[in-house]
């Protein structure tokens, strides 16, 4: 006899993950609203917009996913994850809102508050996970990549903290140097490295593809760290080229895996991955030329579309799978994945996202205000679809009666 619910010993309770996945699309909506307000009323506040997206959306979904993946994929169990995820999630959400308000209003009290919440919450979560990971006895490229990514994340955050402190007038620093470090550590050392590390495992797992070349995935975390350091201390066209080449090769290898996948069924998530890799290719080709401010902005836009496409692909798979997994492990009659979120919904959301992302790039290049309006309308619609889809999926779990003892243990 195998007692039902045992596999939950390894998987954290569903609410740990769900809370992050329900709020992140709302920050997408908020960033569209911010962008919209810039269209009608200057000035354009880049930090406020960027951080709505990077903290409210990207960091949130990535930390949420790590709460699930650390125990299940890397074998690093976080004890008692419920309160830890609560602290991490609440401080991130409130801190991000305060930071945006602080950037927009320039009020130092808001900036101080956001600093306290964000630094507290992010350091707490990153260190918690990092120290679980360094205790592992053996590593896969994925768990190694996660460890490095979390390490680089804390450095990147620290640069951010210092920059806010300098805004507040408490420290004096070379702003340009820290800005470049902040961007390199977070966009490449954290976002790209984490996405790649996860891809090393899930691309093969979700789509049954050949694995990434062993040397490539094994050396990837170290190479990223090395190039990011080079690009921070010896920033030049050459160091930027190195970073570009590294992530271009990741994108090409990923596309190649997907083309060679053994499961050929039509799947909107494959299309999202292709789209994401396409944007990554474009972003990385531009990266060495980001000295020019206009190109830097276009780079950010392409990079954002890359991250967003991959995040959508991941969340539309993770949430239905976890809802099914937890319900079936608890022994209740579990709906299948297509019943939890319909593929037609995901296809529709993909198409809206596709239109939004291409419209935004075209609007940027052509500089037509009216096109931007359309692009933002499509983005807003896409984020609302994502929010509704994920929320409906999560509710399929929360609406069922649960055996508390099982779902709340650990």
Partner 1 sequence: MSIVQYLTEEHRRCDEVYAQAEQAVLDEDWDRANRLFKEFKEKTLLHFRKEEDILFPEFEEKTGIVMGPTQVMRHEHAQAKDLLEKLEKALETKNKEEFLSAGESLMILIQQHNMKEEQILYPMSDQHLSSEEMVEKMSALGEV
For the chain, the C-alpha Rg in angstroms (whole number) is: 21
Cβ neighbours of 187 (radius 10 Å)? 24
Per CB under 8 A, the list member of 36, 45, 75, 166 interacting with partner 1 is 75
Q: Which stretch binds partner 1 (CB under 8 A): 16-24, 222-230, 307-315, 329-337?
A: 329-337
From CA 279, how far away is CA 292, in angstroms rounded? 19
Q: And the tokens for 177?
A: 């140097």
* Least distance to partner 1, CB of residue 262, Å: 4
Which of 116, 134, 208, 259 forms a contact with partner 1 (CB under 8 A)? 208
Least separation in angstroms between CB 137 and partner 1: 10
Cα of 347 vs its chain's centroid, Å: 21
Q: Which is nearer to partner 1, 8 or 161 (CB)?
A: 8
- Residue 138 or 405: the one with the smaller Cβ distance to partner 1 is 138
Question: Which segment (52-60, 163-171, 263-271, 388-396) binds partner 1 by CB under 8 A?
Answer: 263-271
Which stretch, 147-155, 257-265, 284-292, 378-386, contacts partner 1 (CB under 8 A)?
257-265
The size of the interface with partner 1 (CB under 8 A), counted in residues, is: 32
Measured at the CA of 273, the angle between CA 267 and CA 277, to 5 degrees, comes to 150
DSSP state of 73: I
Is 72 among the residues that bind partner 1 (CB under 8 A)?
yes
Q: Interface residues for partner 1 in 131-150 (CB under 8 A)? A: 138, 140
Identity of the residue, 124 or 139, whose beta carbon is nearer to partner 1 in the bound complex: 139
356 touches 29 (CB < 8 A): no
List the one residue from 285, 339, 369, 398 that touches partner 1 (CB under 8 A).
339
Nearest-approach distance from CB 141 to partner 1, in angstroms:
10
Through-space distance between the first and last CA atoms of the chain, rounded to whole angstroms? 23
Buried b (16+ CB within 10 A) or exposed e, 309-335: bbbbbbbbbbbbebbbbbbebbeeebb
Spell out the residues 6+ positions from residue 55 whose beta carbon is closer than 8 angstroms to its own. Answer: 27, 92, 95, 96, 99, 118
Is residue 259 at the binding interface for partner 1, with CB under 8 A as the rule? no
CB of 343 to partner 1, least distance (A): 8
- Least Cβ distance, residue 198 to partner 1 (angstroms): 13
Give the integer Cα–Cα distance in Å for 271 and 363.
Answer: 23
User: Does 204 sit near partner 1 (CB under 8 A)?
Assistant: yes
Closest to 310 measured CA to CA, from 370, 254, 245, 379: 254
Interface residues with partner 1 (CB under 8 A) are 2-4, 6-7, 9-10, 72-73, 75, 138, 140, 201, 204-206, 208, 262-265, 317, 320-321, 324-325, 328-329, 336-339
């Amino acid at each position: 006899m195998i007692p039902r619910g045992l596999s939950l010993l390894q998987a954290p309770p569903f609410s740990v993950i769900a809370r992050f996945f329900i709020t992140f699309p709302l920050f997408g909506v908020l960033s569209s609203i911010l962008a919209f307000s810039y269209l009608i009323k200057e000035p354009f506040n880049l930090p406020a917009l960027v951080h709505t997206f990077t903290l409210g959306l990207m960091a949130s979904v990535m930390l949420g996913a790590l709460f699930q993946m650390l125990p299940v994929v890397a074998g690093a169990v976080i004890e008692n994850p419920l309160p830890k995820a609560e602290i991490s999630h609440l401080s991130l959400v409130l801190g991000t809102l305060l930071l945006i308000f602080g950037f927009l209003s320039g009020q130092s009290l808001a900036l101080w508050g956001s600093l306290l919440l964000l630094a507290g919450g992010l350091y707490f979560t990153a260190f918690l996970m990092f120290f679980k990971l360094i205790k592992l006895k053996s590593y896969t490229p994925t768990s190694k990549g996660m460890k490095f990514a979390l390490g680089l994340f804390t450095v990147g955050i620290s640069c951010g903290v210092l920059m806010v402190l300098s805004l507040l007038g408490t420290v004096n620093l070379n702003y340009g140097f820290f800005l470049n470090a902040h961007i390199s550590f977070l966009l490449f050392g954290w976002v790209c490295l984490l996405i790649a590390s996860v891809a090393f495992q899930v691309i093969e797992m979700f789509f049954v593809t050949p694995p990434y070349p062993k040397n490539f995935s094994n050396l990837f975390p170290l190479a990223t760290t090395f190039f990011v350091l080079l690009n921070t201390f010896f920033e030049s066209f050459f160091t930027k080229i190195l970073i570009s080449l590294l992530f271009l090769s990741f994108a090409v290898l990923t596309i190649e895996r997907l083309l060679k996948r053994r499961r050929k069924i039509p799947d909107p998530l494959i299309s999202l991955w292709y789209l994401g890799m396409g944007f990554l290719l474009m972003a990385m080709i531009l990266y060495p030329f980001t000295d020019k401010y206009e190109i830097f902005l276009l780079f950010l836009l392409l990079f954002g579309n890359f991250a967003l496409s991959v995040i959508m692909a991941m969340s539309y798979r993770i949430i239905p799978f976890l809802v099914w997994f937890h319900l079936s492990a608890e022994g209740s009659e579990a709906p299948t994945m297509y019943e939890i979120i319909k593929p037609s919904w995901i296809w529709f959301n993909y198409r809206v996202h596709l239109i939004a992302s291409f419209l935004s790039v075209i609007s940027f290049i052509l500089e037509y205000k009216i096109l931007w309006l359309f692009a933002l309308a499509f983005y807003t619609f896409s984020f609302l679809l994502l929010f509704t889809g994920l929320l409906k999926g999560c509710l399929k779990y929360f609406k069922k009666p649960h055996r508390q003892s099982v779902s709340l243990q650990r």
